[in-house]
């Protein structure tokens, strides 16, 4: 196994952090992960409910194929990472003794991929998807690299969820339009932020995500939160 460890370049991490933080609709979300972790490629996908399963971006054809394999088969490290909400690090695919996701594992070997690292994407209680990084050769990730990619994944989660919700929401049926509704929405955002220990902006994303996934308006979900009929920390 390669003993050189990627992901400890602080300048590369700072650049990736800045790029993701400033990313707008249409901007590349995968490139910053490749630069920060110093890997061969990266892909990002949404998985399952509420956003559906599809590739958001891929840095190259191999990264896209890794994503496609897992979505098509419904198994792989990205699914495990999202389900368990923790990174799944396969540092040497050829030597591992794991029996998880056998079909996906065999497909990865046919791609001649040495290592795959999957990180979950979520905002509060809402599952978004996963980031898959891969390396041509077997390779470890340092603890710092894992922490760095986790930080980047948190930012990417918000960007992806925001884009998805912006694509499907319309002011007339998705957002509160009266002063009372807006006050209630802000109050609900504060309550959700306190329940989940997140920022108010992220709490609003959680409210919007719940509204989208349950075919209701944000105002209706906010009303339930303020009335204490709905909590997000249970």
pLDDT of residue 162: 86
Instruction: Report yes or no on whether pTM surpasses 0.85.
Output: no
Mean pLDDT of 217-232: 86
129 membership: H or E segment, kind and range: strand 126-135
Orientation angle between helical segments 200-213 and 218-226, nearest 10 degrees: 110
Mean pLDDT of 22-44: 92
Residue 31: name the closest of 63, 70, 69, 68 by CA: 63
pLDDT of residue 168: 63
% of residues, the chain, pLDDT over 70 = 89
pLDDT of residue 173: 44
- Domains parsed from the chain with CATH numbers: 10-167 (3.30.450.40), 170-226 (1.10.10)
pLDDT of residue 234: 56
Mean pLDDT of 56-71: 94
pLDDT of residue 83: 95
pLDDT of residue 174: 43
């Amino acid at each position: 196994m390669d003993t050189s460890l990627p992901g400890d370049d602080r300048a590369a991490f700072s650049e990736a952090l800045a790029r993701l933080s400033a990313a707008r609709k249409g901007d590349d979300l995968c490139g910053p992960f490749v630069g920060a972790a110093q890997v061969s490629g990266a892909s990002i996908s949404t998985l399952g409910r509420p956003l559906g399963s599809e590739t958001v971006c891929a840095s190259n054809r191999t990264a896209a194929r890794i994503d496609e394999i897992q979505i098509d088969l419904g198994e792989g490290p990205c699914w495990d990472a999202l389900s368990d909400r923790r990174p799944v690090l396969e540092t040497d695919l050829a030597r591992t003794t794991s029996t998880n996701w056998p079909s996906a594992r065999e497909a990865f070997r046919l791609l001649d991929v040495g290592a795959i690292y999957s990180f979950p994407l979520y905002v509060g209680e809402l599952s978004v998807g996963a980031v898959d990084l891969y390396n041509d050769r077997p390779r470890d990730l340092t603890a710092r690299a894992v922490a760095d990619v986790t930080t980047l994944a948190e930012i990417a989660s918000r960007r992806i969820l925001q884009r998805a919700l912006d694509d499907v929401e319309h002011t007339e049926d998705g957002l509160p339009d009266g002063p009372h509704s807006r006050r209630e929405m802000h109050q609900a955002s504060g309550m959700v932020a306190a329940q989940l220990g997140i920022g108010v902006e992220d709490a609003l994303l959680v409210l919007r995500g719940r509204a989208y996934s349950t075919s209701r308006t944000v105002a209706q979900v906010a009303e339930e939160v303020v009335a204490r009929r709905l909590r997000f920390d249970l």
